[in-house]
Amino acid sequence: MFCATAALVCVAATVKAQQSLFSRAQLISTAREIMTTTRYCALITTGNQTGPNARTMDAIAPDENMIVWLATNPLSRKVADIRRRPQVTLYYFDRENQAYVTLQGLARLVNDPNEKARHWKDEWKAFYPDRDKSFLLIEVRPIKLEVVNVKTGVVGTARDWDPPTVTFPVGRRK
């Protein structure tokens, strides 16, 4: 019994020490890699009376500020959800590496033709045949991200599984 308890204490201490070894830049780099290599993410919004709504999205890899762009039909439920409450969550999961990123952020609906051209993915052609009218962009500016990658040792605390977290300043919007 004593040996098992001692082993758990050692593991907990190692996990806590591992978390403190990672800088903000390393955690963002780890998150960016997961977000870039994971083809799809879940966009989670808050519905009017239904609670959270999740759907699979084909996101553009995060930019240098960890801003993520997605496309959608302007008549979709997610657009109505974002208009009501712009706080959203993006969830990326990499089963093979036992890794995930949860990015909480503020969403903004963008229908500017220049932005739409700049963030267009050819894979979207089948979904949005009329690029002027059939789609708009969702810009997600990060507020907080959580990242876990078991393979690289970026893991949560042993006691409560609290993952390594990065917070972002909430700045002005364009």
- DSSP code at position 61: P
Residue 133 pLDDT level (bands cut at 50, 70, 90): confident
Residues 134-144 have pLDDT tens digits of 999 999 999 99
Q: What is the mean pLDDT of residues 24-44?
A: 96
Of 53-57, 131-135, 168-172, give the range with the top mean pLDDT: 53-57
CA dist 168 → 35, 38, 98, 143 (Å)? 17, 22, 25, 5
Give 172's pLDDT tier (boundaries 50, 70, 90).
Answer: low
Q: Which of 31 and 130 is assigned the larger pLDDT? A: 31
pLDDT value, residue 171? 66
- Domain 2-167 -> CATH class: mainly beta
Residues 94-106: pLDDT tens digits? 999 999 999 999 9
pLDDT at 7: 37
Q: For residues 37-58, give the mean pLDDT.
A: 93
Residue 5 has pLDDT above 50, yes or no: no
Residue 159 CA to residue 155 CA, distance in Å, equals 12
More confident position, 13 or 135: 135
DSSP per-residue codes, 134-164? S-EEEEEEEEEEEEEEGGGTB---TTT-PPP
Given a cut of 90, whether residue 15 has pLDDT beyond it is no
- Both tokens of 77, joined, read 């439920």
- Span 47-68, average pLDDT: 93
Contact criterion met (CB below 8 Å) for 56 and 42: yes
- Residue 10, amino acid: C
Q: What is the pLDDT of residue 8?
A: 31
